[in-house]
Amino acid sequence: MKNIVILGASGSIGLQTLDVITRHPDKFRCVGLSVKSRVDAISDFLNSNSGLVVCVEKSSDAKNYSIAFTQHRFVWGEDGLIEVATLKEADTVVNALVGFVGCKPTLAAIEAKKDIALANKETLVAAGKIVMAAVKRNGVSLMPIDSEHSAIVQCLSTHNKSIKRLILTASGGSFRDKKRSELNGVTLSDALNHPNWSMGAKITIDSATMMNKGLEVIEARWLFDMPFDQIDVIMHRQSIVHSMVEFEDRAVIAQLGTPDMRIPIQYALSHPNRLALDLPSLDLVKAQSLTFEPVDFERFPLLKCAYLAGKREDNRAAALNGANEEAVSAFLRGKIAFVDIDTFVAEAFESMSYSELNTLEDAIAADQMGRAWIKKKILGGNV
Ligand code: NAD
Ligand code: MG
The whole-number pLDDT of residue 381 equals 64
Query: How many Å lie between the centroid of ligand 2 and the Cα of residue 144?
Result: 10
Quick check: CB of 329 below 6 Å from ligand 1?
no
**What confidence tens digit (pLDDT) does each residue in 88-134 have?**
999 999 999 999 999 999 999 999 999 999 999 999 999 999 999 99
CB 61 within 8 A of CB 40: no
The list of the chain residues with pLDDT below 70 reads 381-383
Q: Are strands 241-247 and 163-170 parallel, antiparallel or unpaired?
A: antiparallel
Whole-angstrom distance, CA of residue 49 vs CA of residue 25: 12
The whole-number pLDDT of residue 288 equals 85
- In angstroms, the Cα distances linking 337 to 82, 242, 325, 367, 370 are 36, 31, 15, 22, 19
| Ligand 1 pocket mutation, candidates 10, 13, 145, criterion most atoms within 8 A of CB | 13
Contacts of 12 (CB under 8 A, 6+ apart): 96, 198, 199, 200, 261
Whole-angstrom distance, CA of residue 255 vs CA of residue 150: 9
Model-level pTM?
A: 0.97
Query: How many Å lie between the centroid of ligand 2 and the Cα of residue 146?
Result: 5
Q: Which ligand is nearest to the CA of 261?
A: 1
Q: Which ligand is nearest to the CA of 197?
A: 1
Q: Give the type of residue at 172.
A: G
Residue ranges and CATH numbers for the domains of the chain are: 2-144 (3.40.50.720), 151-261+289-313 (no CATH)
**What confidence tens digit (pLDDT) does each residue in 236-272 have?**
999 999 999 999 999 999 999 999 999 999 999 999 9
